[in-house]
Amino acid sequence: MNISTQKLLEQLADGQYHSGESLGELLGISRAAIWKQLQALQTLGVNVQSVKGRGYCVEGGLDLLHRAEIEKGFNELIGDADSKLTKLIVENELDSTSQYLIKMSAQGEAIHGWVCFAEKQSAGRGRRGRVWQSPFASNLYFSIGWRIHSGVAAVEGLSLAVGVCLCEALEHFGFVDLQLKWPNDLLYKNKKLGGILLEISGDAAGECDLVLGVGLNVSMSEKAAEEIDQPWIDLFSIANEQARVLPSRDQLAAHLLHALFSMLRNFEAQGFAQWRDPWQKRNAHAGKEITLHMGAKAQAKRGMMLGVNNSGALLLNTEQGVEAFIGGEISLRSLD
Ligand code: BTN
């Protein structure tokens, strides 16, 4: 995105009408050039209204991400010993923030402590090959790069700990009743609020790069959500329901990063055990009869969800007794 388009975006973010003339003057470009830039914004998915005699406006405004604000918020929260945010990238559009960090790692960059946000992802990916809907300036899509020294086994349960961190960061703003679905979906009243994707590159038994991707629905339009194939919710609706102020996406980003960095710096040494209770406290399926779907052949196992063990494995009370599972997807038995 060129500088004029970015400036135009920032002007229109206030939700007010701006005449073509005033925008042209401000940006030092012709009205025809403004029109071209507006087309570029429409392509990103920004809905610019044009009213004769009044000018251009983005109805409702935009809550844009600001790199400097996120960094400032993060630095205010984090102690010196924690500060490992080595690079903060905020892009308007990427295919996928996780893919970006994986690419950087493959190119030989040391991505430890890198954080990458995008206002929009053109190929956002979810677990199990799903697409993660990522409309412009609506939600949060970000990835963190982290170096693991003693192989993937050392980060067993990490994705569950990430879920706890997301809940704790949101609870800081007063949100309540957030729940976790094993292994790592963030739910509210059984609707999906956020998702976590962990990807690892390098030597799975030794030094490797972890890319931790987080998608959090903040303010999703019905239109953008048309393609989502499961019940979903956004923080905007929860804020309305719980009479809370919706924090800015910059504020949310800073608090989420703070929670995640504080956890990540100790996780490899300390493991999942200390996160087990906080996870179980938020377990959406505790004591429920569930079906665990595993593998491509849709193998399924039924039983009562007991919780998780010290490695984050799901404990299921089946006809064969208590069994531990490290992979699969849960559904409620009554919904099968
Ligand atoms: C899930 O399916 O629940 C996981 C969703 C993870 C989505 C996030 S958005 C930021 C990062 N970049 C991606 O392409 N995916 C993750």
Distance 124 CA to ligand 1 centre (A): 6
pTM of the model: 0.95
Q: What is the pLDDT of residue 147?
A: 95
Distance 311 CA to ligand 1 centre (A): 23
Q: What is the pLDDT of residue 296?
A: 63
Which residue has the CA at smallest separation from atom 16 of ligand 1?
A: 213
Tokens 């979903």: give the residue.
232
Looking at the CA of residue 130, tell me the nearest atom of ligand 1.
2
| Pocket mutation for ligand 1, best pick of 128, 130, 214 (most atoms within 8 Å of C-beta) | 214
- Residue 3 and residue 5: Cα distance in Å, rounded? 6
- Ligand 1 is surrounded, with C-beta below 6 A, by 96-98, 121, 124-127, 130, 132, 141-143, 185, 195-197, 213-215
Residue 14 is given by DSSP the state T
Q: What is the pLDDT of residue 335?
A: 41
Asked if 56 and 12 count as a contact pair (C-beta separation under 8 A), the reply is yes
Provide the annotated active-site residues: 127, 192, 333
Packing angle, helices 31-44 and 20-27, rounded to 10 = 100
Q: Among positive and negative, which fits the CA dihedral 274, 264, 130, 41?
A: positive
Residues of the chain with pLDDT under 70: 1, 80-83, 296-298, 333-336
Distance 15 CA to ligand 1 centre (A): 29
Q: What is the pLDDT of residue 148?
A: 94
Looking at the CA of residue 195, tell me the nearest atom of ligand 1.
3
